[in-house]
Amino acid sequence: MSEQPDDLRICPHCGQENASHTMRCIRCGQELEELFELEGFETTGSSDGEISENEPTPMAEILASLDESPLLSDADNEDANPDVLAEIAENQSDSDKESQDWLERIRQRAKEEEDAAGELAKGAIAMDDRRSQEGRKQVDEAFDEIMRRIREQNEREKARRTRRVESDLVDENGDPEWLRRIRELHPDRENDSQVTQVTSGMKDTSDDEWTEEELQELLRREVGIPETPVEEPEQEITTEISTPSSVEEGVEIVSTIPEDEGIQGEPAQAETEPEVIHNIPDDEEEGFGGGAEDDIPSEESAALDLIEEPIQTEGELPSVTDGETEEALPEEETEANSEEKISEVESENLPSTEEPISTKEILPDLLLLKNQRERAQVFSEILGQEGRRTIPVLHESSRQSKVGRLVLGLLLILGVLLAILIGPSGTVDLPLSAPAAAFAKNLESVGSGDEVLIILDYQAATRNDIEPLAKRALDILKEKASNVRIVTSNPENIWLAGNLSQTGQVPDEFIPGGILGYLALAVGETPSWGEQPIDQVFSGNPDLFSGVDQIVLISDSAEFVRMWLEQVSPWKPEIKTSAITTSVSAPILLPYHDSGQLQGIAAGLADAKALDVEPQNLVNQRAFQVGMLLMIVVLLLGMIMKADEDAQRRSEERTQ
C-alpha cells in the first residue's frame, strides 16, 4: 500500500488522487488493490503457483463477499475491465497453491507481532465505519434534498393557489365565485333576494360586507374541504386558516384524524356521494330551495351543506365518525399520506401567525344560511320601521334654513323700521317708463262725457301698490267729467273699492263668473224673447260695454289682464284698454303693450310719477331703498354661496 502524506492514494491507472479508504478510483473506476497488499506479501497477480492448495476458500470468499457487498457494488462494476476479471479467475487456481505459503507467513508474523491480526481488522473496521458514515451522510443529504424540493414545490403551489383563490374569490361586485355559480343556477331565488334587499333599503350594504371569519369560512367551502370534527378542532381550524386555498393542505388537515377512530370504508363512494351533516330540519331546506336545490351540482350543494357541518363540532364530537364521512377520510388520507410528514414539518417550521379561532366563535355566523340571514335582516328592519315616517316630506325645511329665514326677516324688518324712525322719508327720482307714459297719455285723451269702464280685480295685500294710482286715475277722470262705471267680479273688491274715493264708492255692479262672466256679457246679446239670467244681476243697463270708450283694468294679476285681452278684447276691438297693475305684472304685460293690445301700463309706485303722484308721499322711500339694498346683498351672497357649493360638488364628483 502506497502511503501518501495526506492519506491520499494515486490511482495507478489514471493518476487520480483518491481517498485512502477508497477501493476504486473515482475517475476511472480502477480497483485499487493496494489496499489489500500486506507488507512482506506479494500481490495476488504476482504470486502465481504459490497459493496453498489446502486453503483456497478464504481468499475466494473474501473476494466474493467484497464483490457482493452493496456498498462496493457500483454500476461501474459491470463495466469493469474484463481482463482484470479474467485474470482474477485465472489466478484463482494458483492462489490455492500459494495459500499455504502466505498463510504460513501470516501465522509466523502473528507469532512475531503482538496484534498482527488486529492490524487488518482495525483497517477493515475503519473502512466499514467510514463507509457507513458516508452512506448515512449521503442518504441524509439526499433525503434533505428531497425534502427541500418538496417543501419548495409545496410553497410555490400554495402561493399560486392563494393568488388564484384571491382573484377568483370575489368579483367586482364583491360576490364570491361560488355565489355567482349558485346565482346562475338559481336566478329566480337571487332576484327575489335582490328585490328583498332593495326594499329593505340601503342599510343592507353595510351588512353584506364580508368579515374575516366569513371569508375564511367561504374559502374553506370554496376549496371543498369538509370541516370534519376531530379531537382537536381548534388546531385544525388554525392550520386551515393559516394555509388557505390549498386542497392538498385541506386534505392534510383531514388526514390528521387518528386512524383509531375507525376510518375505513370505500373512498370512491364517499367522494361521489358527500353526505350532508347538519342539524337543520329538512322542512327548512325545502322552504328555501324546494326542488331547485336538486339542480345544484353535488360540488356546490356539498359546499352549501357544509355550512352546517361545524354545528357538529359544537357539541358531540364523536358523531363525526359517522358513516360516509368516515369513508371519505381514508381516501384523502392515502392520497396525502406522503405529504403528511411534510405538513407536520411545515407546521413545525412555520410559526403560526394567527390566533386559533375557536369553533364557537365561528358558529354564530354559520348557523344561518344566506337566505335566512337576509330574511332575518328584512324582518328586523320591518320591526325597526315601526312608528317611523315612510313617506318623505316634500320641502322639509331644516333647522338651518329656519334660522336663516328668521334672521333675514328680522334684519329686513329692523332695517325698514330704523329707516322709518330715523330721518326723513327721502325722495326718489325714477325715470318714466314708456308704458306708464302711454297710460298717462291715454288717460288724458279721455274727453268729457266719455264712458269709462273700470274693472277691479286686486287683493288687499297689494292695495298699497295699486290704490294710489287707481285713486289718482279716478280723480283725473272725475276732473274730465267722464262717466265712470266701476265693476268687479272679485267679492273682495266690494269693500276695497271704498278706499278709492272720498265718498266710499262701491262698485256699481258685481259680475259673477269671473272672466267667463265678462265673456258672456261681451259676446251675448239680449234675445228678443226676454233677457239672459246674468242680466238679473244688473241694477242698471245690463249691456256692460255699450258706449264704452275706455276700459281701465285695475288688477294685481297679470293673468287676469291677459285673460281679459284674450277673451273680452277680441270681441270689443274698438275699446281702448289700459291697466294699472303691480310691479310684478309689468314684465309679463309689456309684450301686450308692444303689440298694441294695451294702450298703457302703470305698474306700481315706480310709475306713480306718470300720474303726477310723488312716490315719497305714498311710501317711505328711505325704507324702500334700505329694503332693496338688503335684498341685493342677500342675493349676491346667495349667488356666491351657490357658486361655491357647486364648485365643491364638482370637485368632489371629479375626485370620486
Partner 1 sequence: MSTLDLLLLLAGLVLSLMVFSYLLGDTLLFGIAMYTLVGMTAGFTFLVLLQKVILPMAISPLSALPQTSALLALVPLLLSVLLIWLLFRKNRRTSGIPLGFLGGIVAAALIIGLTRGTLAPQLLSIVDGFNPNKMTSAGLPNWTGIFEAFMMLAGVLAVLFVFHHRRNKKQQDTFNYSWLDGLSGFGQVFIGITFGAIFVGLFSTGLVALIAYVQYLVDFVRLW
Q: Could you give the string, one character per residue 596-635, with x where binding to partner 1 holds by CB under 8 A and - elsewhere?
A: xx-----xxxx------------xx--xx--xx--x----
51 or 610: CB nearest partner 1:
610
Note whether 439 binds partner 1 by CB under 8 A.
no
> Whose Cβ is closer to partner 1: residue 5's or residue 424's?
424
CB of 216 or CB of 581, closer to partner 1: 581
405 touching partner 1, by CB under 8 A:
yes
Strands 483-488 and 451-457: parallel
Indicate which single residue of 368, 537, 543, 549 sits in contact with partner 1 (rule: CB under 8 A): 537
- The answer to the question of residue 494 lying near partner 1 (CB under 8 A) is yes
Q: How many residues bind to partner 1 according to rule CB under 8 A?
A: 63
Instruction: Tell me the residue ranges of DSSP E strands in 431-575.
Output: 451-457, 483-488, 509-510, 548-555
Which residues from 282-311 bind partner 1, rule CB under 8 A?
none
What is the C-alpha to C-alpha distance for residues 521 and 534, in angstroms, rounded to an integer? 8
Minimal distance in Å, beta carbon 552 to partner 1? 18
Q: Which is nearer to partner 1, 268 or 636 (CB)?
A: 636
User: How big is the CA angle at 221 (ends 165 and 208), to the nearest 5 degrees?
Assistant: 80
C-alpha cell at 24: 476504486
**C-alpha span between 415 and 627 (Å, rounded):** 7
Pairing of strands 8-10, 17-19: antiparallel
C-alpha span between 205 and 215 (Å, rounded): 16
Q: Is 412 in the site for partner 1 (CB under 8 A)?
A: yes
The set of cell numbers assigned to 331 is 381516501
Name the minimum Å distance from CB 619 to partner 1: 5
Nearer to partner 1, 374 or 509 (CB): 509
User: Which segment (149-157, 335-343, 376-384, 416-424) binds partner 1 by CB under 8 A?
Assistant: 416-424
Indicate the helix (H) or strand (E) that contains 579.
Answer: strand 576-581
Alpha carbon distance 588, 116 (integer Å): 140
For residue 409, the number of C-alpha atoms closer than 13 Å in the C-beta half-sphere is: 6
Write the single-letter amino acid at 497. A
* Unique residue bearing C-alpha cell 277722470: 477
Cell numbers for 332, please give them.
Answer: 384523502
Q: Tell whether residue 80 is a contact of partner 1 (CB under 8 A).
A: no
Q: Cβ 442 to partner 1, closest distance in Å?
A: 18
Phi-psi region of 423 (alpha: psi -120 to 50; beta: other; left: phi over 0): left
Site for partner 1 in 384-403 (CB under 8 A): 402
**CA distances from residue 498 to 454, 470, 484, 540, 617 in whole angstroms, order as listed:** 14, 12, 15, 20, 20
Shortest approach of partner 1 to residue 468 CB, angstroms? 10
Verify binding: residue 99, partner 1, rule CB under 8 A: no
Torsion angles phi and psi, residue 581, rounded to 5: -140, -170
Which residues partner with 185 through β-bridges?
A: none
The contact mask relative to partner 1 for 579-598 (x = CB under 8 A, - = no) is ---xxxxxxx--xx-xxxx-
User: Does position 575 bind partner 1 by CB under 8 A?
Assistant: no
Beta-strand pair 509-510/601-603: unpaired
Secondary element (H or E) of residue 9? strand 8-10
Shortest Å, Cβ 479 to partner 1: 26
Scan residues 504-523 and list those touching partner 1 (CB under 8 A).
510, 512, 516, 519
Report residue 591 as a C-alpha cell: 309684450
In the bound complex, what is the minimum distance in angstroms from residue 421's beta carbon to partner 1?
7
Minimum Å distance from CB 511 to partner 1? 9
Q: Which of 461, 503, 525, 656 binds partner 1 (CB under 8 A)?
A: 461
Interface residue list for partner 1 (CB under 8 A): 402, 405-406, 409-410, 412-413, 416-417, 420-421, 461-462, 464-465, 491-492, 494-495, 510, 512, 516, 519, 529-534, 536-537, 556, 562-563, 565-567, 569-570, 582-588, 591-592, 594-597, 603-606, 619-620, 623-624, 627-628, 631
